[in-house]
Amino acid sequence: MSIRLVKAPISIAFSPISLHSEEYLREFDKLGESDDDPISQWLKLARGKGDTSDTDPVLLNLMIELHRKIDSLEKFLKNEEPQRVSLTNACEIESIGFEHFKMEDDVLEEGMEYYGRVSMPIHPKRDIAVFFTALDGSLAKITKMHERDEREWGAYLMARERVLIREAKEANS
Quick: pLDDT tens for 152-168. 899 999 999 999 999 98
- The residues near 65 (Cβ < 8 Å, ≥ 6 apart) are 123, 124
The confidence score (pLDDT) of residue 16 equals: 95
Average pLDDT over residues 104-132: 90
147 and 64 part of one domain = no
Name the nearest CA neighbour of 99 among 136, 76, 72, 133: 133
**Has residue 1 been placed in a domain?**
no
The answer to whether residues 133 and 55 belong to one domain is: no
Are 138 and 64 members of one domain?
Answer: no
- Shared-domain flag, residues 23 and 42: no
Given 47, 77, 107, which residue is the final one in a domain?
A: 77
Instruction: Give the range of the structural domain holding residue 60, as residue numbers without chain letter.
Output: 38-77
List CB contacts of 60: < 8 A, sequence separation 6 or more: 43, 52
Q: How many independent structural domains does the chain possess?
A: 2
Question: Taking the model in full, what pTM does it have?
Answer: 0.76
Residues 95 and 19 in one domain: yes
Instruction: Tell whether 27 is covered by a domain.
Output: yes
For residue 82, being part of any structural domain is answered with no
Residue 136 lies in a domain: yes
Q: pLDDT averaged over the chain?
A: 87
Q: Which has more confidence, 68 or 116?
A: 116
